[in-house]
Structure 1
Amino acid sequence: MSRDDRTIRLLSRLLGEEHAELAFTHFLDSTVQLSATAETLQSPNGLLAYSTASNMLTRFVGSLRLVVTGAGPGEVVRLEELLRDLQSIDSRPGKFLSLSQSFPSSQPQVRLHIGRAPNEISEVGRGVVFVSFDGWTVTLRRNEPAGPVVPSEAPFGALLAACFGVAEVFKDVLLLAAPGASVREELRRRQVNDFRYSAWLAERIDVASSEATASGPELVRDVRLNGVLQVGAGAVGNASLLALASTGSLAGAVTVLDSKLVDEKNLRRCVALHFGRG
Structure 2
Amino acid sequence: MVEQHRSHIVVLSEAGSLQLTLPPQSERVCVGDWALFDDSNRLVRHLERQSLFQRKAPGSKVATQLIAANVDSVMIVCSLNHDFNLSRIERYLALAKEAKVEPVVILTKSDLCNDVDEKRQQVQQLDPFMMVHAVNALDDESLQDISAYCQTGKTVAFLGSSGVGKSTLVNGLMGFDAQLTSDVREDDSKGRHTTTSRALKWLPQGGLLMDTPGMRELQLSDCEQGVNDTFSEIIDLAQQCRFGDCSHESEPGCAVQAALNDGLLDKRRLNSYRKLMREQALNSATLAEKRAKDKALGKMIQGVQTASRKLKKDY
TM range (shorter): 0.3 to 0.5
Higher relative contact order (CA 8 A, sep 6+): 1
Give the helix-richer structure, 1 or 2: 1
Max radius of gyration: which structure?
2
TM-score relative to the length of structure 1: 0.35
TM-score relative to the length of structure 2: 0.32
